[in-house]
Structure 1
Amino acid sequence: MIYGYARVSTTDQSTEIQEKALRDAGAELVRSERVSATSRAGRTELETLLAFMRAGDILLVTRIDRLARSVHDLTSIVAELEKKGSFLRATEQPVDTSSPAGRAFLQMMGVFAELETAIRAERQAEGIAKAKRAGKYKGRPADMPMVERVFNLKAQGLGATEIARAAGITRAHVYRVLARQGGLLAA
């Protein structure tokens, strides 16, 4: 069985082109999701496919960066496939873990995908620092309903841990909200 996996990072992107390419390359079942590939966390469609894979099955992606952005995650996924006797192939790259050359190319692509992610993060940090120096970057706008909820819970006498649980945020975020808004911290 050939299972296709399509992934994009944001909700405004579409997986349609990947899905078509995977079906055209022989994928009998295609699963797709809109989630970052910087880790495996939250990638339920990928986990579902990996759970279904059996000996001789193929996990098909268009490009390796659709599957993983770190060598660690890529190695982990490939090891899981190998343990099951399954293989990984890519439609746009010469990756096929059923051959030694395909495995070598896969490892090189993983290193480049991780490098690309690191360079992108570095550029983004430089851009943010420059914008802050120019006074144009103020950070993410406050989520007012969440801020109001934090203050309401604080007014009810709840501590930071209870506020965090009730609001679905971290304790550190509770402290930041209270400090930023001047509602300092007896939490």
Structure 2
Amino acid sequence: MSRAIRNKDVDMAIYGYARVSTTDQDLAIQIDRLRQAGCEIVRSEKVTGTSRAGRDELNTLLEFLREGDALVVTRIDRLARSMGDLQDIVRALKAKGVALRATDQPIDTSSAAGKAFLDMLGVFAEFETNLRRERQMEGIKSAKARGVYKGRKPSVDAQAIRTMKAAGLGASAIAKQLGVARASVYRALA
């Protein structure tokens, strides 16, 4: 990654981060806004924002950023969907002396008002994620009640497990023979 000189005394750069949750979503609008905001480098990925696991581009940026740099996102929910993750990311940026900004929201962690607004938006992003999860669970429950939703097909043949157990095999031997976890064997036998 190249670094851009923004000030004759300080070597700093502005980096962008774009994220969408699914592969069929488009990153182009976010990337365009980040470029318009002055980002020389934009890292992007198509992965859920509910956790930091598997977010390689974000982790690369967090490792690479140096004091005086700025990380820019279009909206705070592109960075994190949980308050815990958002706070962890903000703490890591602060420890490095990196500012966080958003193009579509009044967030700039170099100001007190920007920090306060960031915290409020983080709470709302987590709330929205929890509401979505609740609606999804309600929909599944309703579909099950109507007989429309059956869930995924079992990946373990419970009858084969019971037959093997009746033949005198232990849980470890059954799990090894079927290529499943012992916990799956115990669940099938319960």
Normalised by the shorter chain, which TM-score bucket? 0.7 to 0.9
SS of structure 1 residue aligned to 2:81: coil
Q: Among residues 26, 31, 40, which one is paired with 1:28 in the alignment? A: 40
Q: Does 1:136 align with 2:148?
A: yes
The one-letter amino acid paired with 2:16 is G
Q: Among residues 160, 166, 182, which one is paired with 2:175 in the alignment? A: 160
| Structure with larger Rg | 2
The one-letter amino acid paired with 2:79 is L
The one-letter amino acid paired with 2:55 is R
The one-letter amino acid paired with 2:109 is T
Q: Does 1:67 align with 2:67?
A: no
Give distance in 2, aligned partners of 1:110 and 1:54.
24
The match for 2:120 is 108
The one-letter amino acid paired with 2:50 is T
Instruction: Return structure 1 stretches of 4+ with deviation > 4 angstroms.
Output: none
How has the CA–CA distance of structure 1 residues 87 and 161 changed in structure 2, closer, same or farther, with 3 Å as cutoff?
farther
Give distance in 2, aligned partners of 1:125 and 1:15.
28
Give distance in 1, aligned partners of 2:146 and 2:125.
32
Q: Among residues 2, 12, 17, which one is paired with 1:5 in the alignment? A: 17
Aligned residue pairs, count:
165
The percentage of aligned residue pairs carrying the same residue is 61
Q: Does 1:47 align with 2:59?
A: yes
Q: Does 1:16 align with 2:31?
A: no
Give distance in 1, aligned partners of 2:19 and 2:182.
32
How has the CA–CA distance of structure 1 residues 68 and 140 changed in structure 2, closer, same or farther, with 3 Å as cutoff?
same
Q: Among residues 122, 129, 133, which one is paired with 1:117 in the alignment? A: 129
SS of structure 1 residue aligned to 2:19: strand
The match for 1:167 is none
Q: Does the aligned pair in 1 maintain the 2:21–2:47 contact within 8 Å?
A: yes
Report Cα offsets for 1:56-75 as digits up to 9, x if no partner.
10110000000001111000
Displacement after TM superposition at 1:140 (Å):
2.7
